[in-house]
A and B are shown apart, each in its own frame.
Chain A
């Protein structure tokens, strides 16, 4: 599970109001290499919940001196974009789980795939 996906995922259990952001408890993390695309990263930044991203990166020990608030004029700062690219698309949680901040319900992650299947009545 890449951190870009984590930034989008919420708990969709019925009745849960604040199922975002999911708390990451990782037991295995991998860093891959992926081709850098400045245009895509630039476009995604406004969509991100920046604080959730910073927190997720911290949990995985991948903060890499990313600022805690977005800097203005980031589109032209290639250095910054590359750091964001790394954290969004190259860092992957392989094993662990995601925990709902409201209910505490856990969604396990196995082989990099989070299990979002709900039980009856959820």
Chain B
């Protein structure tokens, strides 16, 4: 799905877009199959599951089971949820090993708490950002999805979403609802400089803060530029956009005094009263 094509989620709701003809591509088009497999492999890598241990995973938007096949290949057991019967039919024909459920991720995950060791989702989350029906509210659907997913995951489990964000507003919408649901984590970007190879993986942690994995890059890795955007549930203090201290704050006062000392001017010594907050009448 390159940027020159129209975005599928603008054309029809997913259960309509992924009809039998579209579903066929996922079993026959070798390019689509190759790309989906690669993204699944990278998503599982980002899940950082314990080595040599078969896990119980959730595949959201499993579709025809291409991503699920990779999960089975590396020895995991999985449950797939998808909204398109045509795509699930293809998965059934392909005799995938995972168990399939017909469901709408925006209506919530129908599982009891703490069951899954991890969750992957390949190219599915962006479908939640569009209102396909008048009654749909994307933020509400996103929140219902993330909150039920958070509960369905075991403590310390991760959820990795490969997404095609349309713009930064959409990304903000997604991350805001994920954080509201209790997730921490961030965005990992692979190959940020290649428009063709660039891939976004939203990595979310349930219950335990983890270290965000590094994005892949074809250039040297010591560039010092971060390929991640981290968000946590910490509230950061307001910092001045230009990187300078906020005017009249203690930091600003100390900096100004230092500057004047360097200019050779007479400056009062720093004491514990320097920059102390005065009563309003002052």
A contacts, CB < 8 Å to B: 1-2, 4-5, 8-12, 20, 34, 37, 39-40, 43-44, 47, 49, 89, 111-118, 120, 122
Provided the pairs A40-B54, A40-B77 are in contact, do residues A116 and B99 lie with their beta carbons within 8 angstroms? no
B:79-119 near A, CB below 8 Å: 79, 81, 83, 88-89, 92, 97, 99-104, 107-112, 114-115
Q: Quick check: is B28 within 8 A (CB to CB) of the other chain?
A: no
> Chain A contacts of B92 at CB under 8 A?
111-113
> Chain B contacts of A118 at CB under 8 A?
104, 107
> Chain B contacts of A113 at CB under 8 A?
88, 92, 100-102
Give the A-B contact count at a CB cut-off of 8 A: 70
Task: Report yes or no: B109 in contact with A117, Cβ–Cβ below 8 A.
Answer: no
**How far, in whole Å, are A114 and B80 apart by their CA atoms in the complex?**
11
Task: Report yes or no: B112 in contact with A10, Cβ–Cβ below 8 A.
Answer: yes
Provided the pairs A39-B53, A118-B107 are in contact, do residues A8 and B102 lie with their beta carbons within 8 angstroms? no
Least Cβ–Cβ distance between A75 and chain B, in angstroms: 14
> Chain A contacts of B2 at CB under 8 A?
none
Which one of B104, B135, B148 lies within 8 Å of A117 (CB-CB)?
A: B104
Q: Quick check: is B56 within 8 A (CB to CB) of the other chain?
A: yes
Task: Report yes or no: B53 in contact with A117, Cβ–Cβ below 8 A.
Answer: no
- What are 22 A-B pairs with beta-carbon distances under 8 A? A5-B99, A5-B101, A8-B79, A8-B112, A8-B115, A12-B108, A39-B54, A40-B54, A40-B56, A43-B54, A47-B56, A47-B114, A49-B112, A113-B100, A114-B102, A116-B81, A116-B101, A116-B103, A116-B110, A117-B83, A117-B107, A118-B107
**How far, in whole Å, are A38 and B203 apart by their CA atoms in the complex?**
30
> Chain A contacts of B83 at CB under 8 A?
117
Chain A residue nearest in CB terms to B53: A39
> Chain A contacts of B56 at CB under 8 A?
40, 43-44, 47
B:37-66 near A, CB below 8 Å: 53-54, 56
> Chain B contacts of A114 at CB under 8 A?
101-102
Which one of B81, B99, B115 lies within 8 Å of A1 (CB-CB)?
A: B99
B contacts, CB < 8 Å to A: 53-54, 56, 77, 79, 81, 83, 88-89, 92, 97, 99-104, 107-112, 114-115, 135, 148
**Which of A9, A49, A115 counts the most B-chain CB atoms under 10 A from its CB?**
A9
**Which of B97, B110, B112, B114 counts the most A-chain CB atoms under 10 A from its CB?**
B110
Task: Report yes or no: B79 in contact with A5, Cβ–Cβ below 8 A.
Answer: yes
Chain A residue nearest in CB terms to B89: A111
Provided the pairs A39-B54, A113-B88, A113-B92 are in contact, do residues A12 and B109 lie with their beta carbons within 8 angstroms? yes
Least Cβ–Cβ distance between A69 and chain B, in angstroms: 20
> Chain B contacts of A4 at CB under 8 A?
77, 99
Task: Report yes or no: B112 in contact with A20, Cβ–Cβ below 8 A.
Answer: yes
**How far, in whole Å, are A1 and B98 apart by their CA atoms in the complex?**
10
Least Cβ–Cβ distance between A4 and chain B, in angstroms: 7
**How far, in whole Å, are A117 and B102 apart by their CA atoms in the complex?**
7
> Chain B contacts of A122 at CB under 8 A?
107
Chain A residue nearest in CB terms to B91: A113
**How far, in whole Å, are A20 and B53 apart by their CA atoms in the complex?**
29
Provided the pairs A20-B112, A120-B135 are in contact, do residues A2 and B107 lie with their beta carbons within 8 angstroms? no
**How far, in whole Å, are A11 and B103 apart by their CA atoms in the complex?**
12
Least Cβ–Cβ distance between A105 and chain B, in angstroms: 12
Task: Report yes or no: B135 in contact with A47, Cβ–Cβ below 8 A.
Answer: no
Task: Report yes or no: A11 in contact with B102, Cβ–Cβ below 8 A.
Answer: no
**How far, in whole Å, are A11 and B110 apart by their CA atoms in the complex?**
6
